[in-house]
Amino acid sequence: MFYVISYDVPDDKRRLKIANLLEGYGTRVQKSVFEADLTAVHYADLRERLARVLNAEEDNVRFYRLCGECRKGIEVVGKVGVTPEPTLMIV
């Protein structure tokens, strides 16, 4: 499934940890926005790892799940396009 993941984290140290974690799962498309193709297992793993870093009282991470048809409707104005679909998938 394709996800757009955004975050708002006021603490510099936690924000860096979260950004580094997300870079292992997807592509940064803006300073606090990532796009990622995640299997159910990878999504669950990411959520578990984020839970260890996040402060639920202060931080906000949002996951927007997009279907294949919705993904085709993404429009980008500017220099960076939408993250391409993976061409190789190892099962």
Q: Residue by residue, what is the 3-state secondary structure of the chain?
A: CEEEEEEECCCHHHHHHHHHHHHCCCEEEECCEEEEECCHHHHHHHHHHHHHHCCCCCCEEEEEEECHHHHHCCCCCCCCCCCCCCCCCCC
pTM confidence score? 0.81
Residue ranges of the domains in the chain?
2-72
Count of residues making up the chain? 91
What is the reported pLDDT for 3? 95
What is the reported pLDDT for 77? 81
Tens of pLDDT along the chain (91 residues) come to 999 999 999 999 999 999 999 999 999 999 999 999 999 999 999 999 999 999 999 999 999 999 887 778 888 787 766 666 655 555 5
What residues contact residue 1 under an 8 Å CB cut-off, 6+ apart?
A: 37, 38, 39, 40, 43, 65, 66, 67
> Could you tell me the fold of the domain covering 2-72?
Alpha-Beta Plaits (3.30.70)
